[in-house]
Amino acid sequence: MLFLAQGIPAIPDLTHPQELIQFGQQVLQLNQWLLLLVVGVGLVLAALNFSYRPDRPVGWEEDLRHYKQLLRGMVQGLLVVLILIGGFFLCTTLANRYHHWEQSKITQVAGTVAGERVEQPAPLVRYTIEEPYTTVTYVDGRKTEVEKKRKVDRFLSPSSSQAEVKLTQTVDPATTRLIYQSTFSGTYQITNTLDVTQDFIFEAAPPGGYTLLQDYRVEQDSKPLEPQNQGEYNFPLQLAPGESTQIRITYKAQGAPRWVYTANGRILSKFRLTVLADFPNADFASGIVPTETRLEGRGTRFTWTFAENVSVQNPFGVFTATQRFRNTGVLPRLLLLAPGIFLWWLLLLYLSGPMRLQDVAIAAGAFFASLLSLTYASRFIDARLAWGLLLPLLLFFGWGLGRQRQARWGTTIVTLSGAILPVGGFLVPYTGLTLGLAGLLSIAWLLLGYFGGRSQPST
């Protein structure tokens, strides 16, 4: 059964109309509070400017200058908050879209090989015996035991089973899904181990799950066998005590991209099954490891050999192995944590030197634009390679954030330790080690600046 691809639940996705309308309503409500805040701050600033006179003490002018600096800090803080909110919704939307794309791709690939299976059951040798049994009846109130006989079915296992299958893979033009074309040939040795001549019924059921079955033949010692009843697959046999005979089953079938053999939990004696999958990416099914696996041309030959008695509960055979999807869910997890990474990088930039409004806007634009490019580029190439290609661009923006040569080296190091390494840490197997190195590099740079007398950031 195939499931429709779904996004990550319980996170906002601005590509959904309902969530977009709800987000717009919340923004309108937030804008009202922001307008009141801006008006209040403006009134306070106007009152302070109006109250200022040239003949006022110098301390009043100093207080006004500090207030203006505080106001600029508030504006920068408001800008950072707005960037984090916008970045959060951008990243959650990208994470949801990428998760949906991953699941759609997996569903699409799995759909090419999904479906029913062509299942070949092991034939049964049935015979009927009369078994006595006793019933109790009452005649004129007296308990009387009556012996009767009834017919009971018994089963005889083939003394040996040899089956060969050739599978070719093609595409169904109607559904564009993979299907199998199989050629089956099975030889079964039947030996009467009873003490009397017995009539047997050889039940050679056709494979299940096929869409086309042709050239189905059952032969006994190279002679065709006729079924007991037309439309059924029961063939009568009569064997003397100790007598053996060979029965051969052949057919061609077409069906789902999975071919299995099932013994229905019965004992198999001297069993050998050889399956030649004449196509790449074939693998054995149900975890029953083949006795021998050998490459043959562009395909693979699987052989199961059991010299003695064996009982296999699950059907086993061959299916088409699809491409393996590795590291799924890595990029959505990174995108959900991206606002926190940006806040850490911005904090390191503030601790490394003064930041203007333009610098904050440039850093935010470069960071989230890199994540947007990484999200869509990773659909075509490996995410680590895509981030490696974006790394020089982000380093260039980090270099440009410094106003002086010494400051530029500092912002570059901070960009490497605060943005590039944390993002790359979620794309590589050694995530904890990479994040640890990024943290140590950041702390080392801050300590170097502190003990080296680097100028502290001004607000």
Largest CA distance in the chain: 137
Degrees to nearest 5, angle at CA 426 with 422 and 432 = 75
Which carries the bigger pLDDT value, residue 118 or residue 287?
A: 118
pLDDT at 61: 57
pLDDT at 459: 39
- Encode pLDDT of 332-372 as tens digits: 888 888 898 999 888 888 887 777 888 888 888 889 999 99
pLDDT of residue 258 exceeding 60: yes
Q: How many beta carbons lie within 10 A of that of residue 345, not counting itself?
A: 25
Q: Residue 315 half-sphere exposure, CB side, CA atoms within 13 Å?
A: 16
% helix, strand, coil for the chain, step of 5: 40, 30, 30
pLDDT of residue 323 exceeding 70: no
Report the pLDDT averaged over residues 178-200.
89
Which carries the bigger pLDDT value, residue 155 or residue 165?
A: 165
Name the amino acid, one letter, at 290: P
Which sign does the torsion angle of CA 438, 441, 447, 449 carry? negative
Provide CB contacts within 8 A for 14, sequence distance 6+.
20, 23, 89, 90, 93
Provide CB contacts within 8 A for 440, sequence distance 6+.
none
The residue to which tokens 């030649």 are assigned: 276
Strand ordering across the sheet containing 124-139: 142-156, 124-139, 198-203, 234-239
pLDDT at 15: 66
What span, in angstroms and rounded, lies between the C-alpha atoms of 113 and 277?
Answer: 15
> Burial, 79: exposed, middle or buried (Cβ in 10 Å; 0-12, 13-18, 19+)?
middle
Q: Which of 21, 3, 4 is nearest to 12 (CA)?
A: 21
pLDDT at 1: 39
Token readout for 65 is 């200058």
> Burial, 2: exposed, middle or buried (Cβ in 10 Å; 0-12, 13-18, 19+)?
exposed
What span, in angstroms and rounded, lies between the C-alpha atoms of 148 and 170?
Answer: 58
pTM: 0.59
pLDDT at 44: 65
Which sign does the torsion angle of CA 408, 414, 419, 422 carry? positive
Burial 314-342 (b: 16+ CB within 10 A, else e): ebbbbbbebeeeeeeebbbebbbebbebb
| CA dist list (Å): 216 to 59, 161, 204, 264 | 106, 18, 10, 22
Token readout for 157 is 């296992």
Report the pLDDT averaged over residues 257-286.
86
The residue to which tokens 């904890």 are assigned: 432
The helix/strand/coil state of 203 is: strand
- Encode pLDDT of 16-25 as tens digits: 666 666 666 6
What span, in angstroms and rounded, lies between the C-alpha atoms of 67 and 326?
Answer: 55
The residue to which tokens 């950072």 are assigned: 80
- Encode pLDDT of 388-432 as tens digits: 898 888 888 888 776 655 577 778 888 888 888 888 888 888 888
pLDDT at 289: 87
The helix/strand/coil state of 255 is: strand
Domains and CATH numbers, the chain: 17-111+327-451 (no CATH), 118-320 (2.60.40)
Q: Which of 155, 239, 153, 154 is nearest to 198 (CA)?
A: 239
pLDDT band at 296 (very low <50, low <70, confident <90, very high): confident
